[in-house]
Amino acid sequence: MGNEPAALPSVEPSAIEAFLEDARKLNDICADKREKLSRQAISRTKWNKRVHIASGVIALLSGGAVTAVFTELTSSLAVKIFAAVFAFSSGIISLVAATLFDPKETQSMFDGANQFLVLRDRLRLLGHEAWTLDAKKILDELKGLRAEYAQAARAYDRLLDN
């Protein structure tokens, strides 16, 4: 009967525990990166809204309605300077908002946070199911999860503020 699979070498319980410890460490790293990306994305979203509101308010202040109101109160030159300063400020704020708060980059942060969350949950599940699996299966699962982690880290680590 030469068709039987080769018997798996016996694995010490300490080796299985080492695999699970490695999974716990990777789980902690995924949880940390998920938290950071999520926090950064939420912060960017809030700042983006604030900056757009400020830009809109300044744009309104530099508009014709303000010019008409202030024409009666000040000299024509003062109104022109006032409108020019606010128009310039509005342009600068809009430029900053468009540059620093790119919606695609913020969405990537949310996507990365989600991918690290999925990895973290799968690593936790591996830890909970370990008692039903043999050492080879644990090691194979851990290798696959490490590969997925490496792929996620390559894609999203650049977005982390360190």
Report pLDDT digits (tens) over 30-77: 999 999 999 999 998 898 888 878 777 777 666 665 666 666 666 677
| Euclidean distance between CA atoms 58 and 89, whole angstroms | 7
Is the pTM here over 0.85, yes or no?
no
| Euclidean distance between CA atoms 130 and 144, whole angstroms | 15
Alpha carbon of 30 to those of 33, 42, 110, 137: distances in Å? 5, 18, 14, 21
Q: Closest Cα to residue 93, out of 125, 61, 54? A: 54
Reported as a pLDDT band with limits 50, 70 and 90, residue 120 is very high
How many Cβ atoms are within 10 Å of 106's Cβ, its own excluded?
A: 19
Query: Which tokens sit at 37?
Result: 């990306």
Any idea where the domains of the chain sit in the sequence?
16-159
| Euclidean distance between CA atoms 64 and 115, whole angstroms | 48
pLDDT given at position 35: 95
How many Cβ atoms are within 10 Å of 90's Cβ, its own excluded?
A: 20
The one-letter amino acid code at 102 reads D
| Euclidean distance between CA atoms 6 and 119, whole angstroms | 32
Residue with tokens 């950071």: 36
Q: For 102, list phi and psi in degrees, rounded to 5.
A: -65, 120
Contact in structure between 138 and 130 (CB atoms under 8 Å): yes
